[in-house]
A and B are shown apart, each in its own frame.
Chain A
Amino acid sequence: DGGITQSPKYLFRKEGQNVTLSCEQNLNHDAMYWYRQDPGQGLRLIYYSQIVNDFQKGDIAEGYSVSREKKESFPLTVTSAQKNPTAFYLCASSMTAGQPQHFGDGTRLSIL
């Protein structure tokens, strides 16, 4: 089945540690996105990529980094510079920018 796979489902981070969240899609979509969701808030855009080897900062990129070396993959690294990383992270993809976005099941990140 075509879709977006995020892993792991739950992730714990120690102080000063970088962690990487995986996002893989087999929909042959060009565009991919990372969002952060906090309780009672809508989704906020962290980074997005419209094509391989290119990505742009979203509204809350500080403390995060991404890469887009393959069309299918858009991993997100939460660095130690992100002081409040506890949140639900959602990855999405779309055929191109402006087309409907399809979402993965999310990764919940917590601090130990």
Chain B
Amino acid sequence: KQEVTQIPAALSVPEGENLVLNCSFTDSAIYNLQWFRQDPGKGLTSLLLIQSSQREQTSGRLNASLDKSSGRSTLYIAASQPGDSATYLCAVYNFNNQGGKLIFGQGTELSVKP
């Protein structure tokens, strides 16, 4: 059974710092991995999607990497800003006999202090 873990559960950093969020998964047979951002009381916004055949994806100040063999993904945020404060969730997509589903980690709550 696939399990997704995100460490740390919460992180507080000063503005301008580069930071890394971690995501690990137990079953390496994934189809893709997606990173999301969630603001309080809101839905999820997709940040980056990495296909199982890819090693990384970049969008602006965000870079996500994937190492399937070790069951790990990282989200790197460069030059953090207060507006980056949110909860970040990773989710892996597994195919199964029902057609597949996203399995989520519990999230990392990020606070960037001015």
Contacts and interface: CB of A to CB of B under 8 A. Distances in A.
B43 A106 contact: yes
A33 B91 CA distance: 14
Interface string B77-113: 0000000000001010101001111111111000000
Interface stretch (A13-21, A76-84, A97-105): A97-105
Give the size range of B's interface with the partner.
20 to 34
A25 interface: no
A26 interface: no
B49 A98 contact: no
Given A43-B89, A90-B43, A106-B43, A98 B34 contact: no
16 contacts: A6-B43, A43-B91, A43-B102, A43-B104, A45-B101, A90-B43, A90-B44, A97-B99, A98-B100, A100-B34, A100-B49, A101-B46, A101-B102, A102-B46, A106-B41, A106-B42
Given A43-B91, A50-B99, 11 more contacts: A4-B43, A33-B101, A40-B9, A42-B89, A42-B103, A56-B99, A90-B43, A100-B34, A100-B49, A101-B102, A105-B42
